[in-house]
Chains A and B, each alone.
Chain A
Amino acid sequence: MDAILTSLANLEFYLVLAAVLGVAWGIVGGALPGISPSITMALLLPFTYALEPSIAIALLASTYVGAEYGGSIPAILIRTPGTNAAAASVIDGYEMNKQGKAGLALGISLYSGVIGSLVGLSALVLFSEPLARLALAFTPPAYFALGILGLSVIVSLSGESLVKGLIAALLGLMISTIGTDPVSGISRFTFGVSDLLSGIQPILIMVGLFAMSELLKQASAQNEIRVKAIPRIQFPDSKLKKRLILPQFIGALFGGFEGVMPGAGGTIASFMSYNEAKRWSKAKHEFGKGSPEGIAAPETANNTVAETSLIPLLSFGIPGSNSTAILLGGFLIHGLIPGPMLFARSGDIVGDLYVGLFFAAIALLFIGIAIMPVCIWLVNQPRPYLNAFIMALIMSGIYSINNSLFELSVVLVAGIIGYFMSLLKFPFLPTVLGLVLGFMIESNFRRSLLLSGDELSIFFNDRISLALLSVAALFIIGSLARPLIGFLFAGLKNKFTDNAGR
């Protein structure tokens, strides 16, 4: 709280500007189908290198906030969600558009997005620091256990195949071993290339995997969808606002919970809150036919997630989603390591981030209205030009970090890897997690063994380490058991239905 007051007392114009520009960029990126919030953030990442750390972090986080709303614009207007999380808004948003209520649908989305952002921000401020304070007592075994807890998320991030998720994570862990060995100082897998001695920066892999691979994928895509009219945003009246309170509460609840749960993300939160909003609604029959509640719940949820997903990142340094992984990249390129020490050493940056996010939530309301024609103009632009500009942005932005052609080639290689991972249906996030957690896990594992004289019991004698490893084990067991329980329940249900049928 002190950090927020200090930040407010020394409020910088550039911080507010970063929040506003971040939201604007996020809305534009989110509105472009195929450009996810993480890609929007990845494109911005190289630009942030030249900025002050607090401005850079606020800019990236505000972009995430803006992108979550931006995704609902094409979802409502052309039945094409700009982001995955906006997919739930298509159902009733597009129906309202067909009924000539596109402006109201967009207004509900924007209004709910602002509420979601503010609720999420409150949760972020309340929980991040206490959790980080807990982590201050961490020793090398505890850091190792924290890394393992971070990796355990892969079980729920792997999508259809756990084996593929694990292979993707191993790839990230392998990349993290390139460079100088953290304990002995000997070079590994550098093949005499001096540029590899300091390892491969996660930002290069992230931009390659998320942004470059998407461009390569779109090289053969042909989707020219046009928005014919520019609707005027119309906010709900007081009667409708009252009706939206319950779905917004449900959205904030699911958004808050799913945001903190690593790997869950905005998409699950949106669909779950949509489902629950329908269950609790007095006008269930309207769902799927243009219900305002059907937009309010998912839009509140995905904007809440944009804030609460920062809790595990700020407190423990563990990114639980693609977007927070990119934000982690933003911290790393400024020499900041999210986690317990961030609050102790760079509390001002955390304070600025909170204040920046507050301004971002407020700016969302105004920018959301003002930028609508720009978004529609951009959505209507021929895809070849848009993609050409995105490629030029990537190439310019990456070069601007260290003026290195080698780093540009790393991004291209990461793009190829990402393209083939996508083709073979491997998830990206485990690779990013492996990459960012690999160094922490290996160095602390080996340091712990050095301290204990090669006794593995050090990981169980340290209380925090034991607790974190237990949580990781529970998380893995829980994630593996969930589909099994679902399968068993489905079997029982079928049996029951069969018996009832007879």
Chain B
Amino acid sequence: MLSRDFVGGLVAIALGSLYLVFSFRQRVSALADTIGPAGIPKVLGILMVSLGIILCAQAIYQTSKSVVPASSEWKGEARKIFRAFGLLIIGVIYLFMLAFLGYVLSIALLLAAVAFYLGAAFNWRMMLIAAAGAVVLWTIFVILLGVPMPAGLFSQG
């Protein structure tokens, strides 16, 4: 099983490589300075890949010395990642809802969905808190701060 550091190193190598590819594809103007718009990114990409390799090497060395298996580092993490991913999906759905349903309705649904997802019981209390929360936030942002939040279904146009 891979240790956290090894995975971190692999991610750094992948990210650095991808960034390097785009750096080499960077368009350069004839009027650019000697370093040019791609100069610094190329250095950053090379450094990222190099540090990723060092981190992987360190991880392999530490794993070989350690008596505790690397798999113990990941115990219970899969469930946590899925839980976090679920919350993220709620956030993404909110992004799509905002323009269509409008701010008040979307934020009320967001409050209810997040609270329910995190373990609150689905009952009248939860609905009431979500509705009241939406009204409070609408008052703060739209009335007090004058932010033009999307009206969605409630727009007059």
Contact = CB atoms under 8 A, between A and B. Distances in A.
B17 to A, nearest CB: 12
Contact of B111 (A170, A382, A389): A389
Contacts of B79: 220
Contacts of A220: 79-80, 83-84
Given A388-B110, A424-B4, A403 B11 contact: no
A408 B95 contact: yes
B7 A177 contact: no
Interface residues of A, number: 60
B83 A219 contact: yes
Interface string B106-148: 0100111011111110000000011001100100110001111
Interface of B is mostly: helix
A461 interface: no
A395 B54 contact: no
A400 B111 contact: no
Contact of A163 (B35, B54, B83, B137): B54
Nearest to A408: B95
B69 interface: no
Contact of A446 (B35, B51, B58): B35
B68 interface: no
B153 interface: no
B141 A384 contact: no
B81 A423 contact: yes
Contact of A186 (B5, B27, B84, B117): B27
Interface string B1-29: 00011011001100110010010001111
A212 B84 CA distance: 10
Contacts of A185: 29
Given A184-B32, A188-B37, A167 B118 contact: no
A384 B118 contact: yes
Contact of A391 (B35, B80, B110, B145): B110
A383 interface: yes
Interface in A13-57: 47, 50
Contacts of A216: 84, 87-88
A331 B32 CA distance: 31
A50, A166, A167, A408 — most chain B CB neighbours (10 Å): A167
A454 B5 CA distance: 39
B61 to A, nearest CB: 12
A442 interface: yes
Given A163-B58, A399-B98, A416-B88, A183 B115 contact: no
B57 to A, nearest CB: 10
**Interface band, chain B:** 35 or more
Nearest to B76: A220
B41 A174 contact: yes
Contacts of A396: 103, 107, 137, 140-141, 149
Contacts of A392: 107, 110-111, 114, 133-134, 137
A419 interface: yes
A215 to B, nearest CB: 7
Given A161-B5, A173-B44, A387 B92 contact: no
A164 B44 CA distance: 15
Interface of A is mostly: helix
Given A167-B8, A183-B32, A426-B8, A395 B15 contact: no
A393 interface: yes
A181 B147 contact: no
B5, B103, B114 — most chain A CB neighbours (10 Å): B114
Contacts of A450: 33
B141 A183 contact: no
Contacts of A188: 26, 37-38, 41
B128 to A, nearest CB: 11
B19, B26, B107, B115 — most chain A CB neighbours (10 Å): B115
Interface in A168-190: 170-171, 173-174, 177, 181, 183-186, 188-189
A219 B36 contact: no
A412 B111 contact: no
Given A167-B52, A173-B44, A405-B98, A385 B129 contact: yes
B34 A400 contact: no
Nearest to A401: B147
Given A393-B137, A424-B4, A219 B117 contact: yes
25 contacts: A50-B145, A174-B41, A174-B45, A189-B22, A212-B91, A216-B87, A219-B83, A219-B118, A220-B79, A220-B83, A384-B116, A387-B115, A388-B133, A391-B91, A395-B91, A395-B110, A396-B103, A396-B141, A400-B141, A400-B147, A409-B92, A409-B95, A415-B91, A446-B40, A449-B34
Interface of A: 47, 50, 161, 163-164, 166-167, 170-171, 173-174, 177, 181, 183-186, 188-189, 212, 215-220, 222, 382-385, 387-389, 391-393, 395-396, 399-400, 403, 405, 408-409, 412, 415-416, 419-420, 423-426, 442, 445-446, 449-450, 454
Given A177-B41, A186-B28, A216-B88, 15 more contacts: A50-B147, A164-B55, A173-B44, A186-B37, A387-B115, A391-B91, A392-B110, A396-B140, A399-B98, A405-B99, A412-B92, A420-B11, A423-B4, A424-B5, A424-B8
> What are the 5 closest A-B residue pairs judged by CB atoms, nearest first?
A384-B118, A181-B37, A388-B114, A220-B83, A216-B84
